[in-house]
Amino acid sequence: MSSFDQHEWQILAPLMFVGFFEVYDLTVLTIGAPKIADGLGVSITLFGVGVAVIRLAALCSVPILRTADRIGRRAMLLVSIGIFTVATGLTALAWGLVAFILIQIVARAFLATESSLAALVIAEEVRPERRGASLSVVGIVSFLGPGLAALALLAVPLTPLDWRIFYLAALPPLLVVAYLRRNLRETKAFDIARDEERIQGSLIPHIPHEYRSRLIRISAILGAAGAISTAGFFYSSALAQDEFGWEAAYTATVLGSGPFALLGFLFGGPGSDRIGRRPVLAIGLACGAIANLLIFSEVRALFAPGFFVAAGANAALLAVVYAYLAELFPTELRATLTSVVVAIQVACGSLGLLLVGALSGVVSTSLVLAIGGVFVAPVILLLRGLPETQGADVVTKAPEPAA
């Protein structure tokens, strides 16, 4: 971290907390699901359907991020943090499941916008040889999110606020981050693309054929991974708390995953700066599939090791994916196509939740997730059709299309 220069820290300081809020929010909807469902007076299965709908709100980030490719990154970063902060506060006032879902849909749309855009701004502004490492900084900060969520979980029965403490606890850091972002400037990459008249003003962009192939392949890879990992993390919470009867033990497992997440970020970021984006992606995806089998074997002794492997795999993917996406697409399409990939990944995650929920009364949830992980693993082979982009210039010119 000491190798970043002053300009890079001016970018990292106000943006490196975006991963914290994203992971915190996802963790709350996972480990806090039983508590929130009880507080809203609904079953965990019905709440799971609600979570799937909330996650689909990430699709709304596509037109918002398209605006970032048309008018610039800075304005949309300021708008996204403001609306997400307000929606987070309103979530604590939700009086029922429908209200909770509607408010969280708004929050999720702008959180997805903020997450994707902040990562792309960092990727555009730091040196190519430090791109993965800079996104690992975001990841290292983000893995504090599950820790705060786990502590809030312990506080739920100790306060009359009940599950609402999850969302009230996020407000102070959100306000601090909003204040820090006020001095952000437009990225050099966007300024150059605008000066060269590469910016597309239309609502629907023109995507050259060579970039469509990249978009389809990376979307299929991350979509399949999202379908299994989202359902896996959601139902791992229910497995530990409802089936195993773990409370403090589950909190200890979540907190214990921190060092493994740290290792994942160090491998995913600095590691991909050295050995390439594709190898790190392949290893992260493979480890995620293995973790799924360990967790849903329903062998109690394997749950924690599986959870630790899953934490490391997801951390590695978080660190490398945005660097890879920034290098795959040109500036004038970068935010738009990144949002499409992320939206597909999230949509597949929601579909995975819905499918597992629909089958829960017929087939064992653990069996469905274990088998699903095995069948999804072969999508890793699609990486062979994508280029290695490690250290590509994403500022002064568009990435070269694959041969």
Q: What would the pLDDT profile of 175-201 be if each residue is shown by its tens digit?
A: 888 888 877 888 888 989 888 888 888
The confidence score (pLDDT) of residue 403 equals 43
The confidence score (pLDDT) of residue 1 equals 64
**Mean per-residue pLDDT for 371-397?**
84
Q: Tell me the pLDDT band of 402, cut-offs 50, 70 and 90.
A: very low
Q: Tell me the pLDDT band of 348, cut-offs 50, 70 and 90.
A: confident
Looking at domain 6-385, what is its CATH homologous superfamily?
Answer: MFS general substrate transporter like domains (1.20.1250.20)
**Mean per-residue pLDDT for 268-292?**
91
| Residue 86: C-alpha distances to residues 107, 149, 170, 236, 297 (Å) | 8, 19, 11, 30, 41
**Mean per-residue pLDDT for 294-302?**
86
Single-letter code of the amino acid located at 71: I
Contact 288, 229 (CB under 8 A): yes
The confidence score (pLDDT) of residue 399 equals 52
**Mean per-residue pLDDT for 114-142?**
87
Give 121: exposed, middle or buried? Use CB within 10 Å, 0-12, 13-18, 19+: buried
Distance CA(100)–CA(298), nearest Å, equals: 31
Distance CA(169)–CA(16), nearest Å, equals: 19
Q: What's the whole-number average pLDDT of the chain?
A: 85
Distance CA(159)–CA(374), nearest Å, equals: 42
For 29-76, the pLDDT digits (tens) are: 878 888 888 888 888 888 888 887 887 787 888 888 899 999 888 888
The confidence score (pLDDT) of residue 231 equals 82
Higher pLDDT, 309 or 248: 309
Q: Tell me the pLDDT band of 205, cut-offs 50, 70 and 90.
A: confident
Percentage of the chain beyond pLDDT 90 is 19
**Helix residue ranges, H only, 72-186:** 73-91, 97-125, 131-142, 144-155, 165-168, 171-180
The confidence score (pLDDT) of residue 254 equals 79
Contact 392, 124 (CB under 8 A): no
Give every CB contact of residue 159 below 8 A, 6+ residues apart in sequence.
Answer: 165
Query: How many Å is the maximal CA-CA distance in the chain?
Result: 61
The confidence score (pLDDT) of residue 251 equals 78
Inform me whether the pLDDT recorded for 2 exceeds 80. Answer: no
Give every CB contact of residue 63 below 8 A, 6+ residues apart in sequence.
Answer: 203
Nearest-CA neighbor of 353 among 35, 45, 98? 45
The confidence score (pLDDT) of residue 397 equals 62
The confidence score (pLDDT) of residue 43 equals 86
DSSP secondary structure string for all residues of 186-241: --HHHHHHHHTT----SSS----HHHHHHHHHHHHHHHHHHHHHHHHHHHHHHIII
Give every CB contact of residue 293 below 8 A, 6+ residues apart in sequence.
Answer: 306, 370, 373, 374
The confidence score (pLDDT) of residue 398 equals 55
Span of 80-94, 120-134, 212-226, 246-260 with lowest mean pLDDT: 246-260
Q: Tell me the pLDDT band of 391, cut-offs 50, 70 and 90.
A: confident
**Mean per-residue pLDDT for 66-94?**
89
Inform me whether the pLDDT recorded for 324 exceeds 90. Answer: yes
Three-class secondary structure of residue 135 per DSSP = helix
